[in-house]
A and B are shown apart, each in its own frame.
Chain A
């Protein structure tokens, strides 16, 4: 972890640091799982191979599959059984979640911010975005889940690699609340969206995901093709912040923007409220079982 004072490290310099830091340890598995999610031709064997080369991951998956969360009537003793009994989509989510959770370990708790809070926020946004896709659009929403889980990867990069400055930033936000992106831009010259997008690009994430991470505060900046997807992430992020799943006290963007995006996606408020309730229940269940906590 970097504790040197380095006010003006460039974005490319930061990326170079990522590559030699512990963050890069998740690169292989995360990139592979994302390409499996986005490749309709990918089969079960690709997924099994990916898991089996990583024994700690295999152990975690079996632990999750046998947890009371799934409450299966039988004991899952290998990855192939897990694939059949909990399904490949869920398995993909578990892999991604377990790998991402590695980035949110330890850390300092300061002015309401902690990696644990950020992780809770990321999970909430992931579940919300996925549920919108499932319930409203009738799609699986694997990418929405991934984008929700990873949308703030830029924040965790800053926390890990620009630790001291980031802590100062959090302290500053408490005394003078402002949008995180604004505070970041004035201190570092870039915000967590840009950091996340640069990372996603250098790790070859699918473009939909890259834009979801990069423009979740500014969907209009995203390409036409993925703009609605990015707006869904924006909505999930906004509502989860508003409903107590934030990680830092800051003023949210104008509500009018949110309302506009809700209209753009053809969503209705009671639908979003229902989804919010579902997500809250789900998070409670997850927190009780404790297996997804960072």
Chain B
């Protein structure tokens, strides 16, 4: 068969072209499939990585929050203590600056529980003032008249 039917030879050429085209298409499709697979794996792995990263971040954030809560609690307690102290101080200031019920005769002071206290006891508990005991000349004269006279004589001599 040296001379082929031209129609047949054209048909063969066409079929060959088709086969070549489909071969190329198949190769490209395979390549695209592989690319898609690797992209999928990529995204999947990234997802796992992202999840673990995010978990770590959340843990850290959680720890920070707990620390902050502790801090706040501590500050709160300190504040309360301070407020307590301040209130106490204010109370004391109020007691010493308000009316003090005092006995006209023995000079005892009545406290908020109704108990009559010695004036030095009362003031020293409600303020920072301290007492140092002495005796005045009038009371010396009344309580120790001889000692008082002797003091007077010595005074004149001088």
Q: Interface residues, chain A, CB within 8 Å of chain B?
A: 44, 80, 83-84, 87-89, 134-140, 268, 270-271, 274-275
Contact = CB atoms under 8 A, between A and B. Distances in A.
Interface residues of B, number: 18
- Across the A-B interface, give the 3 residue pairs with the lowest CB-CB distance, nearest first: A135-B21, A138-B24, A271-B17
A87 B43 contact: no
B67 to A, nearest CB: 35
B21 A84 contact: no
Contact of B43 (A80, A274, A275): A80
Interface string B26-46: 011000100110011011000
A88 B75 CA distance: 56
Contact of A274 (B17, B24, B28, B40): B17
A89 B32 contact: yes
Contacts of A80: 43
B13 A274 contact: no
23 contacts: A44-B39, A44-B43, A80-B43, A83-B39, A83-B43, A84-B36, A84-B39, A87-B36, A88-B39, A89-B32, A134-B25, A134-B28, A135-B20, A136-B21, A137-B24, A138-B24, A138-B27, A138-B28, A268-B17, A270-B10, A274-B17, A274-B21, A275-B21
A87 B42 contact: no
B18 interface: yes
Interface of B: 10, 13-14, 17-18, 20-21, 24-25, 27-28, 32, 35-36, 39-40, 42-43
Given A138-B28, A270-B13, A88 B21 contact: no
Nearest to B18: A274
Choose among A83, A87, A135, A136 the residue with the greatest number of B CB atoms under 10 Å from its CB.
A135
Contacts of A134: 24-25, 28
A270 B14 contact: yes
B40 A84 contact: yes
B55 to A, nearest CB: 21
A139 B27 CA distance: 10
Contacts of B27: 138
Contact of A271 (B21, B28, B36, B39): B21
A139 B31 CA distance: 11
A147 to B, nearest CB: 19
Contacts of A271: 17, 21
A84 B43 contact: yes
Contact of B35 (A88, A138, A268, A274): A88
Given A271-B17, A274-B17, A140 B28 contact: yes
B43 A135 contact: no
A80 B35 CA distance: 14
A267 to B, nearest CB: 10
A80 B46 CA distance: 12
Nearest to A86: B36
Nearest to B13: A270
Nearest to A90: B32
A275 B40 CA distance: 32
B61 to A, nearest CB: 25
